[in-house]
Structure 1
């Protein structure tokens, strides 16, 4: 996990969505594909991000552990605020989650107001993934002792991430 106060320059944020019970292998395969398209590992991965309803989803937290980065989640209303910046809004996703996109919106929300989407939503059978490029610098606040971030409230204009544990 990332230590408090560490900063990164123009790293990547992996946004993920999945159906409950999706296998770690499926999510990992999809994540590797979108990250490769975004230039990983030459460009550092800063975080894995998703909808707060997936905060305890084993496959998503396993990816955070696999890449040794924080796992941050957002309320549907916060992800919905990212709709103007996402490439593939979906009315069907909105009916299920309360936001028009999970993977793209979570990646953008975690990456900050100046972030840009590098890889639009890609899907597997049960999961979605997208990658955003973070603002020029991001700083992480202290993590919880477990390394799992169940929820976070991040304002788009905030230059630093405050992770609630």
Structure 2
């Protein structure tokens, strides 16, 4: 399973979200078809752009509870003071991807930042 974790500023568009996902996948030499789902934090539940991008890409959007984000926060690569203060995790995109990908999940690298959107790719612990 491969998950794209998404974080964004208020007012980001679905186009912004899709562009960040494409850029993150491209950085790892992956195609959009490799993704199983998008994931984001509870604090981003009302960010319509994330859900519109999921619909456009025909991917489910998983909303990760705060306690699940906290449980994987020590495994994030990026550290944002702003994210920590507002969302309780040093990286919404990285923590969301890790939590959604399940036990033993690994980030493919640090989050990609493109304009108002961050995207991190994680693979499940049972992936080769």
Gaps of 5+ in 1: 1-10, 138-165
- Normalised to the residue count of structure 1, the TM-score between the two structures is 0.70
1:16 is matched with 6
Q: CA deviation at 1:42?
A: 7.8
Runs of 4+ in 1 over 4 A off after TM superposition: none
2:50 is matched with 60
RMSD, aligned CA: 1.8
CA contact (8 A) 2:77 2:109 kept: no
Question: Are 1:97 and 2:75 an aligned pair?
Answer: no
Distance 1:29 1:98, change over 3 A: same
Question: Residues 37-116 of structure 1: matches in 2 within 5 Å?
Answer: 37-41=27-31, 44-116=34-106
CA–CA distance in 2 between the matches of 1:76 and 1:93?
A: 13
CA contact (8 A) 1:111 1:132 kept: yes
SS in 2 for 1:119: coil
Give the total of aligned pairs: 127
- Identify, as 1 or 2, the structure richer in helix: 2
**Larger relative contact order, structure 1 or 2 (CA cutoff 8 Å, min sep 6):** 2
CA contact (8 A) 1:51 1:79 kept: yes
CA–CA distance in 2 between the matches of 1:47 and 1:94?
A: 24
Q: CA deviation at 1:67?
A: 2.0
CA contact (8 A) 2:4 2:35 kept: yes
SS in 1 for 2:111: strand
- Give CA deviations for 1:133-157 in whole Å, capped at 9, x if unaligned: 12337xxxxxxxxxxxxxxxxxxxx
Which protein has the larger Cα radius of gyration, Structure 1 or Structure 2?
1
Gaps of 5+ in 2: none
